[in-house]
Amino acid sequence: MKFARTIKHLMNKSWANVTGKVRAHARDAYERHLSLSQRIRYVQAYLLAKIWHTTQVFPAPTTCTQQLTTAVAWYIWKGATFRVPISSLQKPRRKGGWG
């Protein structure tokens, strides 16, 4: 738990810490030889699990949300030549897909 003078400073400090950890774990796992579906499962089960507690306490600032999206997209696509937008992987659950 971090402490700060104001709630806003505490929120920014907490989210910066979480964002840094997610980015570091994505970098560490980058060398693993996983398929696209395995990388997506890794993101859902491990990388995004790091943010659930902080999300329940503080809303995420826009900059941290953008950094997390970038880190996740970078890890999922692993420098692939042919990519599709991240939004195409986020289909509604009732239609199948990764939603």
> What b/e sequence results for 38-75 when a residue is b if at least 16 CB atoms lie within 10 Å of its CB, and e otherwise?
ebbebbeeebeeebeebeeebebeeebeebbeebbeeb
Answer whether 40's CB lies under 8 Å from 76's CB: yes
pLDDT of 39 reads 87
- Spell out the domain ranges in the chain: 7-95
Q: Which tens digits make up the pLDDT trace of 37-81?
A: 888 888 888 888 878 878 888 888 899 989 998 888 888 887 665
Range name among 9-13, 42-46, 91-95 with the lowest pLDDT average: 91-95
Tokens of 14: 């907490």
Helices and strands (H, E) in the chain, number of each type? 4, 0
What value, to the nearest 5°, has the Cα angle with vertex 70 and ends 65 and 74? Answer: 150
pLDDT tier at 92, thresholds 50, 70, 90: low
State the pTM of this model.
Answer: 0.71
pLDDT tier at 88, thresholds 50, 70, 90: low
Answer whether 2's CB lies under 8 Å from 10's CB: yes
Q: pLDDT at residue 8 above 70?
A: yes
Rg, the chain, Cα only: 15
pLDDT of 19 reads 92
Question: For a pLDDT cut of 90, what percent of the chain falls above it?
Answer: 7
